[in-house]
Amino acid sequence: MDKIVEIEGLSKAYTQGHEQILVLENLDFSISKGEFVSIVGPSGSGKSTFLNIVGLLDDVYSGEIRLFGKRLEDMDEAEKAVLRLKNVGFVFQFDSLLPEFTILENIEMPARVLGSPAKGRGLELLERFGLEVIAGKFPMEISGGEKQRAAMLRALCNTPALLIADEPTGNLDRHNSGVILDDLRRAADMGTAVLMVTHNEEAARRADRALRMAGGKLTA
């Protein structure tokens, strides 16, 4: 299988005052193309810390990370920034849509940031996920569940190899959580590697592989 991310011996500590707090300790991980992986674990166990590192938002750590077979150490900042924009999509727990733009404009924003027009990709995604009715609406005119799904389509707009979702169902009821999980599965079936953190055991079980974060490590 094509490995999208490979991690060996990842450790991460935060400095708080004079103390060093070790959050990730000698952790190993990998995820392949089209694979849907979930992570559960207690609050404060380091799940978001881990996602930030995998998603290239944090580069203060020790250990080896390879993205698409390339060592992060061997890349400069500009290379990493392009890699992140082109290949990594993020969905956060809290709403992050821009209020002054329509849903379609929001979804196509990553393509604009990259300087390549989306060429109908936003509408295509909205149709494929059955959301074309909200294309022209503004974020304040749609429900929380729809916002969450729109944020996910935005993350998928550049057809990322890796989709990172930090508690994507955190604020949703059972029905809408199910809809988001179906969406994530569909994204994985389209070839994207999906890495999801959740507090919901039922959601975690819907992944191909469910991991637990504890003691600074990820275990099956």
Ligand X SMILES: Nc1ncnc2c1ncn2[C@@H]1O[C@H](COP(=O)(O)OP(=O)(O)OP(=O)(O)O)[C@@H](O)[C@H]1O
Residue ranges binding ligand X (CB under 6 A): 14, 16, 23, 41, 43-49
Q: How far is the CB of 166 from Mg ion (least distance, A)?
A: 6
CA 66 – CA 7 distance, rounded (Å): 6
By C-beta, is 47 or 147 nearer to Mg ion?
47
Contact call for residue 48 and Mg ion (CB under 5 A): yes
Closest residue by Cα to residue 158 from 109, 99, 196: 109
Contact flags string 122-161 toward Mg ion, x per CB under 5 A: ----------------------------------------
Token pair in block for residue 155: 């993350």
Residue type at 44? Answer: G
80: Cβ–Cβ under 8 A, 6 or more apart, which residues? 56, 59, 72
Q: How far is the CB of 23 from Mg ion (least distance, A)?
A: 11
Closest residue by Cα to residue 56 from 36, 82, 37: 82
By C-beta, is 50 or 129 nearer to Mg ion?
50
Residue 20 binds what, of Mg ion, ligand X, none (CB under 5 to 8 Å, by partner type)? none
Distance of alpha carbon 2 from the chain centroid: 18
Bridge partners (DSSP) of residue 168 are none
By C-beta, is 44 or 136 nearer to Mg ion?
44
Contact call for residue 106 and Mg ion (CB under 5 A): no
